[in-house]
Amino acid sequence: CQAPRAVRLNADSEAHQTQLTTLQIWQISGRILYKDANEKHSAYISWQQNQDDFDMAITTLIGTRVMGLSQRQNLATLTLDDGEYQDTQTENLLWRLTGWHLPTSQLPQWLKGQFNGYAAPSFAPEGWLQSLTADNWQIQYSDYRIVDGVVLPHHITLIDNQRSIKIKISQWTLN
């Protein structure tokens, strides 16, 4: 893969990115809209992050579960109504079995508005991430609010050439 881009950050962005990296245990709940050429899925999403492990749940509008996806070290597990499936990596597992292509290996950072060296970020005047281009995803951030002293995004759109994903976060919980 390419070498990390040299990215010039001003003090606010630097401080914000550093603060986000220290945020290792958190949870969000909100809505997700996944659209590609032939499918449109609208549901609730909850994401519980604990260091490198996460649990994602996709839930119907009446509260029943569509699917669950979890990562524990190098074990990825997808649960659907008809069973449980495993792989080493969540992204491929999810794509193979549901056709959903979610950048689940990057979302632990991207959901917070954090980026790594291989991305091309642009920042809001206040210093937080406004948009990001990474691994052929175009990501837009908005509706930043302060949650327990940390500025976090509540509206994220991720677009690649075949699909668009809209995430509206109603609740951030930080531990």
Residues that bind another protein (CB under 8 A): 29-31, 33, 40, 42, 44, 46, 48, 55, 57, 59, 61-65, 67-68, 79-81, 166, 168, 170-171
Asked if 110 and 165 count as a contact pair (C-beta separation under 8 A), the reply is no
CB of 11 to another protein, least distance (A): 34
CB count within 10 Å of CB 105 equals 16
List Cβ neighbours of 142 (8 Å cut-off, separation of 6 or more): 130, 153, 154, 155
Question: Cβ closer to another protein: 70 or 131?
Answer: 70
Asked if 139 and 156 count as a contact pair (C-beta separation under 8 A), the reply is yes
Question: Cβ closer to another protein: 46 or 140?
Answer: 46
Question: Cβ closer to another protein: 13 or 98?
Answer: 98
List Cβ neighbours of 14 (8 Å cut-off, separation of 6 or more): none
CB of 34 to another protein, least distance (A): 10
Question: Cβ closer to another protein: 63 or 125?
Answer: 63
Question: Cβ closer to another protein: 48 or 138?
Answer: 48
CB of 60 to another protein, least distance (A): 8
CB of 146 to another protein, least distance (A): 18
Supply 76's token pair: 């990825």
CB of 82 to another protein, least distance (A): 8
CB of 24 to another protein, least distance (A): 17
Amino acid at 30: G
DSSP labels, 79-140: EETTEEEEES-HHHHHHHHH-----TTTHHHHTTT---TTSEEEE-TTSSEEEEEETTEEEE
Question: Cβ closer to another protein: 129 or 167?
Answer: 167
Asked if 77 and 96 count as a contact pair (C-beta separation under 8 A), the reply is no
